């Protein structure tokens, strides 16, 4: 595998996304861009805001909307969507890096190619809302967690907290995916460096999250307390307007990421028998979690975890080096177990 593998994959992702999705602005895209433009006009020329966006947005309006509004004023909708594409390219690069560190480069190339061909990934690559930015920040946090577990000095773990706090600000639902990132840091460090290093790096990562998160919360609540209503109304205590059956949700899962599951299950044929139950556990837990929570298919973190790790556990490209097996199993189990936080 050459050093050009990742750049070529990213170029393919960008080209494929641009070719397949050329539609006009969706309602959510227009709303967040319009809100961002209003905020900038309020800052620059003093025009009053026409609405209190902090009261009902699913993310803090001074994180993604101001980015989208500024880009829209500079280059229109196409430039805003280019920002979403850049975010998803970073997600692919982070997934490539994590897979390469946990397994090998061949596995990383295979996982990245498979990941960029997923429908939700292509959709988000041209979707001008907070979802790509949020996913990007979570992916960077996960990559930093793996990197911190490999570094000689533990201080890199301090960089995880700010990215996770920003991810929560971009989309409040990112709170579900913060614990797995910290656990990836702890477990990966434990399996590579032992208990003492795990405690040190895990403490630093959690400390950075708590300190940055507390400071951000104090500032935001002091100047904009209506954000508490938005968090409850859109995320923690959201009212269900339209109920869907488990069967309909299952059909959506099959439609959007069914190929991922099919390839992963096919990989079981080539896997060792002792890994079959583990892989099946991951498949069933992820699927049940989606049906239990009705997780938005526009936020394909399950696709990322499944594509980058479950398929690799299935053994399609080859056998996982023995020294990486336990680390991969623990990290994957944690990534899939994030579904349980939603179902409780």
* 139 found inside a domain: yes
Residues of the chain with pLDDT under 70: 1, 264, 267-344
Q: Domain total for the chain?
A: 1
Q: Determine the Cα–Cα distance for residues 245 and 294; give it in Å rounded to an integer.
A: 10
* 217 found inside a domain: yes
Residue 267's pLDDT is 60
Instruction: With CA atoms as reference, report the closest residue to 107 among 115, 99, 98.
Output: 99
* 274 found inside a domain: yes
Residue 318's pLDDT is 41
Residue 253's pLDDT is 79
Q: Determine the Cα–Cα distance for residues 325 and 144; give it in Å rounded to an integer.
A: 20
Q: Determine the Cα–Cα distance for residues 71 and 73; give it in Å rounded to an integer.
A: 5
* H-helix or E-strand spanning residue 213: helix 195-223
Q: List pLDDT tens digits, range 77-134.
A: 999 999 999 999 999 999 999 988 887 888 789 889 988 988 889 999 999 999 999 9
Residue 114's pLDDT is 85
Residue 240's pLDDT is 75
* 9 found inside a domain: no
Radius of gyration of the chain from its Cα atoms, rounded to whole angstroms: 20
Residue 294's pLDDT is 44
* 15 found inside a domain: no
CA torsion angle 182 184 186 191 (round to 10): 180
Structural domain boundaries, residue 278: 20-237+244-343
Q: List pLDDT tens digits, range 51-76.
A: 899 998 999 999 999 999 999 999 99
Structure token pair of residue 64: 């993604």
Tell me if 234 sits within 8 A of 296, measured CB to CB: no
Q: Determine the Cα–Cα distance for residues 294 and 306; give it in Å rounded to an integer.
A: 17
* 208 found inside a domain: yes
Q: Determine the Cα–Cα distance for residues 140 and 229; give it in Å rounded to an integer.
A: 28
């Amino acid at each position: 595998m050459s050093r050009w593998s990742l750049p070529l994959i990213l170029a393919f992702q960008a080209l494929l996304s641009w070719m397949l999705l050329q539609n006009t602005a969706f309602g959510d895209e227009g709303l967040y861009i319009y809100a961002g433009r209003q905020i900038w006009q309020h800052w620059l020329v003093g025009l009053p805001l026409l609405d209190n966006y902090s009261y009902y947005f699913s993310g803090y309006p001074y994180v993604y909307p101001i980015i989208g509004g500024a880009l829209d004023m500079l280059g229109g909708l196409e430039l805003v969507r280019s920002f979403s594409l850049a975010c998803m390219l970073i997600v692919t690069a982070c997934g490539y890096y994590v897979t390469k560190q946990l397994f090998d480069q061949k596995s990383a190339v295979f996982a990245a190619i498979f990941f960029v061909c997923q429908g939700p990934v292509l959709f988000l690559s041209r979707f001008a809302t907070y979802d790509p930015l949020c996913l990007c920040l979570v992916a960077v946090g996960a990559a930093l967690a793996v990197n911190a577990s490999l570094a000689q000095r533990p201080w890199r773990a301090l960089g995880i907290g700010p990215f996770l706090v920003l991810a929560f600000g971009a989309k409040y639902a990112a709170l579900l995916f913060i614990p797995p990132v910290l656990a990836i840091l702890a477990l990966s460090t434990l399996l590579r460096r032992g208990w003492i290093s795990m405690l040190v790096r895990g403490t630093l990562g959690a400390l950075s999250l708590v300190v940055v998160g507390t400071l951000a919360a104090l500032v935001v609540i002091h100047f904009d307390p209506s954000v508490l209503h938005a968090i409850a109304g859109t995320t923690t205590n959201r009212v269900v307007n339209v109920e869907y059956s488990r069967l309909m949700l299952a059909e959506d899962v099959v439609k959007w990421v069914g190929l991922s599951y099919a390839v992963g299950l096919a990989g079981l044929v080539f896997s060792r028998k002792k890994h079959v139950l583990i892989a099946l556990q991951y498949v069933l837990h992820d699927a049940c979690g989606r049906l239990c929570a009705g997780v938005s298919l526009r936020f394909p973190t399950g696709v990322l975890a499944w594509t980058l790790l479950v398929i690799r556990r299935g053994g399609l490209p080859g056998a996982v080096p023995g020294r990486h097996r336990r680390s991969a199993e623990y990290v994957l189990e944690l990534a899939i177990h994030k579904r349980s936080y939603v179902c409780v």
